Amino acid sequence: MELKHIEMIKNTARDCMLFREMNGEELSALLTCLDFRVRSFGRNDVINMAGDPFEGIGVVVDGQVAVVKENVAGERLVFDILGRGELFGEMAAFTGARKWPATIIAHTDCTVMYVPADKLVGQCSRSCIAHTKLIMNMLGILSRKALTLNRQLEYLSIKSIRGRIASFLLEQYKKNGKTTFMLSMNRNELADFLNVARPSLSREMCRMRDEGMIDFHRSSVRIRDMEALKAAAQGLD
């Protein structure tokens, strides 16, 4: 393993819930134990294809990746955009799946660390404290992932496009703690995520802007009328 990759992973560990509450010594010992590997990808490269053999949990060391699936009509649906320190494939690891359940695409140039699933679901031969912390952190991540998936189902259950957009923007506001924030998805990806047509998404966002509810420029969004946005999310507009 190249020294630059080790340093990148150690820097990423500060932002990764998988390595939460581990000091430098514990992290170094854990990395020796994990038998991980690192791969780099260019933007739009297919990192893992749905149906391919599962090779371990992925940790985004640098850049961003997109988790996508195709529906029965062949349309691409973006489930998530993951950045530095975030994971993919963890659900498959704990269900014993031998194939990737979704396709992972490089959203930007990126570097990914793969951790063999048996290192997370099996016992550590060294019984190190860091490994115990790793498993506890993994359980916390799975719990949050389940909540996130439930939230996306809530988006899809909302009938109106405006309601989906409003609910999503309110979620981003809560996540960022500010009324002005940057979206991690471009307009096409957001349309896929909310399962709406790209032109319909753009038209509705423009209407919401013209009504003084929001303002936006490229990936930047500003909530101008919080009460109106909440009403739209509740279907009261």
Q: List domains and CATH numbers for the chain.
A: 3-155 (2.60.120.10), 159-233 (1.10.10.10)
Q: Where are the beta strands (DSSP E) in the chain?
A: 37-41, 46-48, 57-62, 65-70, 76-82, 87-88, 103-106, 110-115, 180-182, 214-217, 220-223
Q: Tell me which DSSP letter residue 206 carries.
A: H
* Res. 236 pLDDT band, cuts 50 70 90: low
Highest mean pLDDT among 9-23, 68-82, 122-136, 216-230: 216-230
8 A C-beta contact, residue 64 and residue 110: yes
Long-range CB contacts (within 8 A, 24+) of 212-215? 213/166, 214/169
pLDDT computed for residue 14 by the predictor: 75
Q: Average of pLDDT values for 7-19?
A: 79
pLDDT computed for residue 94 by the predictor: 73
pLDDT computed for residue 4 by the predictor: 63
pLDDT at 206 over 90: yes
Q: How far is the C-alpha of 233 from the C-alpha of 155, rounded, in Å? A: 10
* Res. 162 pLDDT band, cuts 50 70 90: very high
CA distances to 83, 115, 194 from 151, in Å: 19, 27, 11
